[in-house]
Structures are given as C-alpha cells and as structure tokens.
Amino acid sequence: MSEKILEVSDATFEREVLQAESPVVIDFWAPWCGPCRAMEPVFDELAEQHTNVKFTKLNVDDNMQTSARYQVLSIPTLLVIDKGEVVKTLIGAMPKARLSAELAPWLGGVAAA
C-alpha cells in the first residue's frame, strides 16, 4: 500500500475522514476480496498523483460499524466524502481511466490515463 494512503478504522473515521479539510476518497475493502486486490495498484497510483485529496482505506471485516453506517454491502466500494457528506459512491473494480474520470471533480478535473 502506498505511504500516501491512510488506513482508517471505526475509531479514527470521524477525525480522519469526516473532519478532514480536503475531500477524502475511502476504499472499503477486505484482504480476501479479489477485486479489491485488483484495485489496489490503481488506488495507490492515484494517491501518489493527487495530493489535494486524502486517500484512505477501511477494512470492512475489522470495522463493521462504519461499513454498516454507510450501508456497504459489496466491496470494493469507494466513497468520496467532502465536508462530512458523501458526494460520490462507486461500487466494484474499475480500470484507472474510468476511476480517474469518476473522481475528476475532486482530483482537480484532470483524468489520468
């Protein structure tokens, strides 16, 4: 996992995600999830390229309270949270070009190839 990605938990979610100054992209994942593992290099690359957004990961097995709060029923699920509010939900693995396009409003409007 990239050093630019912060692992969050039920205990740190409020502080690290909901109270963040900048938009936060949170990846709800689990180690046993194949599509989650497939998305990891894509998520890492975006985190390295876009420092104006906070990239975080939350293990759904270890943090069921937050997963239930946001009704995460399928993984990977990515949420964009800005000023404490969910502004975008993405479900399922996707290639980097599509993920960049989906996140472009928060990444600075430049979709990476």
- Residue 83, pLDDT score: 94
Identity of the residue numbered 61? D
Which CATH code, of 3.40.30.10, 3.40.50.80, 3.50.50.60, 2.102.10.10, is assigned to 5-107? 3.40.30.10
Helical residues (DSSP H) of the chain, grouped into ranges: 13, 34-49, 64-69, 96-107
pLDDT tens digit string along 55-64? 999 999 999 9
Q: Which two tokens stand for residue 102?
A: 């989906």
- Residue 109, pLDDT score: 55
The residues spanned by each domain of the chain are 5-107
pLDDT tens digit string along 1-13? 668 899 999 999 9
Q: Give the residue-averaged pLDDT of 83-94.
A: 96
pTM score: 0.91
Tell me how far apart the alpha carbons of residues 4 and 87 are, in angstroms, rounded to a whole number: 22
Instruction: Point out the residues that are catalytic.
Output: 33, 36
Tell me how far apart the alpha carbons of residues 89 and 97 are, in angstroms, rounded to a whole number: 17
pLDDT tens digit string along 8-55? 999 999 999 999 999 999 999 999 999 999 999 999 999 999 988 999
